[in-house]
Structure 1
């Protein structure tokens, strides 16, 4: 006889609730559904009082701690599984999935990345962990939705390796189109799709409807901040070797990472767009051009804070 499914006591659990995406998903829940239906999860137990003081239930969920996963995921119907940023991401995700299976969670909503669009062909190291996680989610006994998110528009400074002190020339190993997407809109759509339900055992794509190039981003930087930056495209090897003269003292590995991302962009890995984000939100997602312009109009020295 198969074991009976557990009785759910919590409709929604949001992991990574102090991070950028998880925090905004939680804010949508606060504004739209009873607080008795959801809880916030964090690896740091010191955050417990912060949530409970606002009337939000708290659960300790640490991807490195199997015991916390066992207790924290118990009785959960819908789990927002926010991907880890750790270099041990693959091992952590495997632990979460096994714990979710053991807890008989009804539906796992996983935050993946949009490298390659709907294809599984991306060679980006970060995407390899996501592809492995998506494969684990297809194991028998699990129901999932993998949400492949467009690159956060807030991260454009990372892709450009842009910092406010830079003057004169911005050097990159290539240029190409990226469907940068607002994190706030990704968060709201994630909360909405969880409440709406459906998309069982599917991979969905949340992106803006337009793309933008590095050259266009530099034009926006200049137009909104009064700077006169010029984009200089150089061969990959030359770009990586520029670490020797970097005024910030960034190591060669930093430039290798940026170059690898641009290898993917040139191959078209981040230019796929899809209408689902707008369909879920009920409005046209903010274009990368408009989003970046507003960021820099509010703060001419903006850089992405991890």
Structure 2
């Protein structure tokens, strides 16, 4: 039995849908906070179980009988670690044969502040004694949809990433990787997963201009100024500071990887910049 936590989220749903092509539905558990949001999965024969990262008892029930678990990282930045620790403890009590976790690219040396909770979670997983696979995901192309829209509408992409290269891939690419690991007979302990190709924000602006037929440029500004820009357009705390920090980390190589491990794992190239810009404008 394979349990996917956070299975009503964008990534989790894609993983469950991918598993349905490989595994009988009755062997898949979608662990979700609100089962009503996973009714479409239940309709396909998937077991839907209520699970809250903050409720250890619910996690024990959700992981009962599990052989493999995918811990999709929480989106509650700043509260992730205790939530993840609850899942790890439940996985130990269940005696799972594999605990996979969606981490961040090069977590052990990442310059991004967002990596801190991932690093602590990885350490807890290693200390658990459970067999594990760390899926160190790079940036999702979907993270750039707002910037692509802004470039098309206002002719500008702002940021503080300098000439840093970004090896992004689509959420569907990372979901396919998780499916491959969960259905593997011998998964690796660590996967550094990133796009087959890379780009700078200047190249993103240029590609948006090419497809939209309107001029667009990348404007590089100081980190504090970019954080203020994000706050001024309604991005809620703490995201302006975290996203600006991610851009600054990009300038230091934090989102670049050319090992093509993701492409090799899923057996095809990942989404490229042209495809991502096209998808974002549909």
Classify 1:136/1:227 alpha carbon distance in 2 versus 1 (closer, same or farther; 3 Å): same
Aligned CA RMSD, in angstroms, stands at 2.4
Q: Which protein has the bigger helix share? A: 2
2:54 is matched with which residue? 64
For residues 184 and 204 of structure 2, the distance between their equivalents in structure 1, rounded to whole angstroms, comes to 35
Query: 5 Å matches for 1:275-286?
Result: 275-286=260-271
SS at match of 1:110: strand
Change (3 A) 1:243 1:46: closer
Compute the displacement of 1:54 (Å).
2.3
Worse overlay, 70-79 or 31-40: 31-40
2:99 match = 108
CA offset at residue 221 of structure 1? Answer: 1.2
Cα distance between partner residues in 2 of 1:154 and 1:49 = 25
- Pair 1:122 & 2:123 matched: no
Cα 1:294–1:55, aligned 2, differ >3 Å: closer, same or farther?
same
Give yes or no for the alignment of 1:170 onto 2:170.
no
Query: What are structure 2's unaligned runs of at least 5 residues?
Result: none
The residue that corresponds to 1:265 in the other structure is 250
Q: Within 2, Cα distance between the matches of 1:54 and 1:84?
A: 25
SS across alignment from 1:79? strand
1:155 aligned onto 2:172? no
SS at match of 1:278: helix
Is the contact between residue 152 and residue 212 of structure 2 (CA under 8 Å) also seen in structure 1? no
Structure 1 pair 215–28 and aligned structure 2 pair: CA distance change class (3 A): same
Q: Decide whether the 8 Å contact of 1:161 with 1:258 is kept in 2.
A: no
CA distance in 1, matches of 2:159, 2:243: 9
Cα distance between partner residues in 2 of 1:241 and 1:43 = 34
Output one character per residue of 1:89-122: Cα deviation in whole Å (capped at 9) or x when no partner.
Answer: 11100111111111111110111111xx3x6122
Secondary structure in structure 2 of the residue aligned to 1:139: helix
State the SS of the aligned residue for 2:133: strand
User: 1:12-40 CA deviation, whole Å, 9 max, x = no partner?
Assistant: 11111111111111111212221122121
> Which residue, 260, 273, 276 being the options, matches 1:292?
276
Distance 1:242 1:148, change over 3 A: closer
Go from structure 1 to structure 2 and tell me whether the alpha carbon gap of 1:242 and 1:67 turns closer, same or farther (over 3 Å shift): closer
Q: Which moved more, 1:271-280 or 1:253-262?
A: 253-262
Q: Give the C-alpha shift of residue 170 in structure 1.
A: 3.3
Between the two proteins, the alignment pairs up a number of residues equal to 280
- Who is 1:83 aligned against? 73
Measure how far apart 1:57 and its partner are: 1.2
> Are the aligned partners of 1:178 and 1:213 in contact in 2 as well (CA < 8 Å)?
yes
Residue 232, structure 1, aligned to residue 219, structure 2: yes
Is 1:13 matched with 2:24? no
Q: 1:27 aligns with which of 17, 40, 47?
A: 17
Alpha-carbon distance, 1:172 to partner = 2.1
Whole-angstrom CA distance in 1 between matches of 2:41 and 2:230 = 43
* 1:286 Cα deviation from its structure 2 partner: 2.6
Q: Where does 1:174-189 land on structure 2 (aligned, <5 Å)?
A: 174-175=161-162, 176-189=164-177
Select 1:98's aligned residue among 81, 85, 89. Answer: 89
Look up the SS of the partner of 1:197 in the other structure. Answer: coil
TM-score (norm 2): 0.90
